[in-house]
Amino acid sequence: MSETITSREVIADGHSLRVYESGGADAAPVLWLHGSGPGVDALANWKGLLTDLAGDFHNIAPDILGFGESACPDPWPHGVAASVELRARNTLALLDELQIEVAHVVGNSMGGMIAMRMAQIAPTRLKRLVLMGSGGAGGLRPEAAKKTMEYLANPSADHLHGLMQMFVYDEAAFGVDLRKLAAERMAIAMRPHIARVNAATFDFSQPMFVLTQEQLAEIPHETLVIHGREDRVLPVEASHFLSTHLPNAQLHVFPKSGHWAQLEHRRGFKSLIQAFLQGSL
């Protein structure tokens, strides 16, 4: 871990959360919410940005409930919508425990869904929103859904590698050995409590989390919607929909980018986030 990043345990609504932080406590707080891939945690999504932006914000990146080193309540609700609801309310409880009244929120994929649900539940607790490759406007691309189901039916490093290949624009140019990364993440994903939560979350017989045009129109926050043009997990059209119906949203599309724009375009992503959250974009 970078020396600029610290970690601690915080109890939020009775559940233990691992929370990573960088930057000064007197800076503007930014809550970073990671996505939902098997074995993912806060540092997998955000380590580089927590380091890059330590001089600009008070960055707060939890392992969201049910991921990484955070608690995995039992029983866990089935379905994406129910999981988003539990996680949104738990993340608001985290802000309470940290005594943060208002924060900017950056949400990736499922983290974007959680951010929007938080905005619905407690709009005055959130300032500006960044939604990167966010769900909430429809389902996965068919091939990504197929790879997800293959992994859930038979969790293995090979199936996880096949799923992770969907997340990047160019595996050869990505700079990380995805097969090795898949093996590392399997060690986390196959912890019994995490595997149980993941299987319940992706029970596709239960409702998804999808917001209507009318629901989006009621989220007033200044919002930056970001998507990779070649995203093979969630189509870029989903972010076009969000940015069209969120009343104060703007859209940025990164070319030659998959679902992990924050990793494939780290420098540009950092500059964009910095400008938007500081009000100069």
Per-residue b/e over 108-118, b at no fewer than 16 CB within 10 Å? bbbbbbbbbbb
pLDDT computed for residue 2 by the predictor:
67
Report, as an integer, the average pLDDT of 186-194.
96
**Is there a domain that residue 214 lies in?**
yes
Q: What average pLDDT does the segment 223-239 reach?
A: 97
Task: Could you list the beta-strand ranges (E) of the chain.
Answer: 6-12, 15-22, 29-33, 58-62, 103-108, 126-132, 223-228, 249-254
Pair type for strands 15-22 and 6-12: antiparallel
Q: Which residue has the tokens 């951010």?
A: 115
- Output the pLDDT for position 3: 74
* 93 inside domain: yes
Q: What is the pLDDT at residue 197?
A: 97
In a domain, 1, yes or no: no
Count structural domains, the chain: 1
Which sequence positions are flagged as catalytic?
Answer: 109, 231, 259
In-domain check, residue 240 = yes
* Contact criterion met (CB below 8 Å) for 23 and 6: no
Determine the Cα–Cα distance for residues 72 and 138; give it in Å rounded to an integer. 26
Angle at CA of residue 213, ends 207 and 215, nearest 5°:
70
**CATH number of the structural domain spanning residue 45:** 3.40.50.1820
Interval 125-142: pLDDT, tens? 999 999 999 999 988 999
Q: How many residues are given for the chain?
A: 281
Q: Please report whether residue 202 resides in a domain.
A: yes
DSSP 221: S
Domain that holds residue 229: 6-277
pLDDT digits (tens, 9 = 90+) for 139-169: 899 999 999 999 989 999 999 999 999 999 9
CA-to-CA dists, residue 155 to 22, 187, 188, angstroms: 34, 11, 12
Q: What is the pTM (predicted TM-score) of this model?
A: 0.97
pLDDT digits (tens, 9 = 90+) for 205-230: 999 999 999 999 999 999 999 999 99
Domain membership of residue 242 (yes or no) is: yes
Is residue 177 in some structural domain?
Answer: yes
Contact 20, 61 (CB under 8 A): yes
Contact 64, 35 (CB under 8 A): no
